[in-house]
Amino acid sequence: MLAELGLIAEVLSWVGFGVGIVFLGVWGALRLARLAWVETDAVVLDDGFTARWLTEEGELHERRLEAWELHDIADTEQVPVRYRRYSPDRMRLANMQHGTRTFGILAIVFLGVGVIAVAGSLILLFVPK
């Protein structure tokens, strides 16, 4: 019985650490990609379809909004947007953090399973047979 528990703990530790490290790598890559986006406020012009924003350098940029983007805008005077640091003409309205958060949580869960499985294996080593 103890041998089977030790085998299960061993498999869970390998799976937990292996998958957890992969998810941790994806989480880190997504975090690095998010650094290229800068948050600022935009104004929707009177035509209702054009948004304008200022970059950190004081440059004025504008982009025509799609019809589906207009549903997310509550206040046309102060719309939170994110633009690309190195190509400020690219702008988006929504903050895409859900995937980043999901991979972070999955990495913590799988690494936690790996740690618990290793602790269980160590405990099983000292249990008398």
Per-residue pLDDT for 116 more than 90? yes
Per-residue pLDDT for 77 more than 90? no
- Tell me the per-residue pLDDT of 41-61, one tens digit each, with 9 for 90 and over: 899 888 878 999 999 889 999
pTM comes to: 0.70
At 83, give phi and psi (nearest 5°): -125, 155
Q: How confident is the model at residue 71 (pLDDT cuts 50, 70, 90)?
A: confident
Q: How confident is the model at residue 94 (pLDDT cuts 50, 70, 90)?
A: low
Count CB neighbours of 79 within 10 A: 20
Mean pLDDT along residues 81-100? 82
| Number of residues in the chain | 129
Domain spans of the chain, in order of start: 2-125
